[in-house]
Copies of this chain bind each other. A is one copy, B any other.
Amino acid sequence: MKALILTIGDELLIGQVLNTNAAFISDKLSGAGVEVVRQLTVGDEASEILRALREGYDALDAVLITGGLGPTHDDITKKALCTFFQTDLVSDPGVRQCIERFLAQRSQPWSDASEEQTLVPRGCTVILNHHGTAPGALFERGGKYVFAMPGVPYEMEYMMNDFIVPLLRSRAGGKTIVHRTLRTTGIPESVLSARLGNIEEMLGGARLAFLPSAGGVRLRISVVDADSGRAEARARAVEERIRAKAEEFIYGTGEEEIEEVVGRLLVERGLTIALAESFTGGLVSHRLTNVPGSSRYLLASVVAYSNDAKRAILGVPAELIKTQGAVSEEVAVAMAAGARTVSGASLGLSTTGIAGPSGGTPEKPVGLVWIGYADRERSFARRFTMGGERVRIKERASQSALELIRRTLLGLS
């Protein structure tokens, strides 16, 4: 079954709000075995809605519409549906009862707008709205479906979860889509692609997407299969083949962030950590503390932005900063060791670098980064060069710092 998602609203076309509805509906349909082939957004304009409806209806099996059902939108979606299915609006007693109950619960009075809301296209199946006053509608004609839902996210979400997904799942004809995402970092998209080799062969009919972002490249495996168990098994088999070639760069799966992975490794090993950040300015620490329960392993973090602070709080010798410079291997190591000492943590991690836009020199350009590590037995620092602007360099460096801890804990580097 193939579907079009049609979102309606001028506010989307001027970029005022993000289209979270399209993502939500896509996610739900995908899980129900319905393939979304297009998402289309048009304004509050009857001709555009009709054109889109015609196009989706002719080519595909289902059209899911959100928006344009509220009382302020001139009921443009309902009227368009009437035009399209050659019918008219009729007041529905079930909807009236539903709206009366909704308003009574909130001590709100009945109004002209409420009366308007009781109208639905004649001949549709009404989808009652228990979370708002605009009813939804379903037209089912010769194996094709058109759903209309309100644009308010939680009203739409309840209609999807309680009515539309169960209905479509039962009629989608069995196929399951399984997605599996592997998250990599520290390897550019092109190098990763080369490393995987003959991708078509590896996939055996599955699909693979490369999704790059500042933190790394995500690999998404998609498998369509009539049997859900077999779909899972095929996705797992592809994952194994990818892991065989790039295991060390894969830090997590699905929605898992590297800070969660690092947190889990620290808990498993009973270790604590302290940070000494210079140019990343607290970002590494912020990310680690986004994870619930991070107070179990993160003891402290010192953002030593000035050289005085590096000296006074972390005990980095002034002489070292003077001779080697604040952005150097030696200072990175001393900062990591200092973070350990001042906090009593098992591990120390440090960052020092030049985020720009100014402050670079030919020997030490903007984007030069040293990341330092210290534990009871050893200490070292790694050099990186990061491209992009200030905030981007901070983001990349924070990812590299977390990856350095991950690899070190796993004995990978």
Contacts and interface: CB of A to CB of B under 8 A. Distances in A.
Contacts of A268: none
A348 to B, nearest CB: 13
Q: How many protomers of this protein does the assembly include?
A: 2
B301 A289 contact: no
A342 interface: yes
Contact of A189 (B14, B39, B70): B70
A342 B303 CA distance: 12
Interface stretch (A164-172, A242-250, A385-393): A385-393
Q: Which of A114, A387, A394 has the most CB of B within 10 A?
A: A387
A302 B70 CA distance: 39
Interface in A265-287: 274-275, 277, 279-286
A39 B13 contact: yes
A96 interface: no
Interface string A186-219: 0011110110000110000001111111100000
Q: Which of A102, A189, A213, A355 has the most CB of B within 10 A?
A: A189
A20 interface: yes
Contact of A283 (B35, B275, B286): B286
A269 to B, nearest CB: 18
A256 interface: no
B300 A309 contact: yes
Interface residues of A, number: 121
Contacts of A72: 189-190, 193, 210
A344 B308 contact: yes
A203 to B, nearest CB: 10
Interface in A145-185: 152, 154, 177, 179, 181
B313 A343 contact: yes
A220 B10 CA distance: 10
A306 B299 contact: yes
A253 to B, nearest CB: 13
Given A71-B190, A74-B208, A190-B113, A18 B15 contact: no
A67 to B, nearest CB: 10
Given A15-B30, A16-B181, A343-B309, A286 B289 contact: no
A14 B36 contact: yes
A388 B131 contact: yes
A343 B177 CA distance: 55
Contacts of A188: 108
A87 interface: no
A390 B292 contact: yes
Given A290-B390, A312-B342, A285 B303 contact: yes
Contact of A105 (B37, B212, B312, B385): B385
A150 to B, nearest CB: 9
A298 B304 CA distance: 9
A228 interface: no
Nearest to A73: B199
Contacts of A14: 26-27, 30, 36, 177, 179, 222
The 3 A-B residue pairs with the shortest CB-CB distance, nearest first, are A281-B289, A282-B282, A15-B27
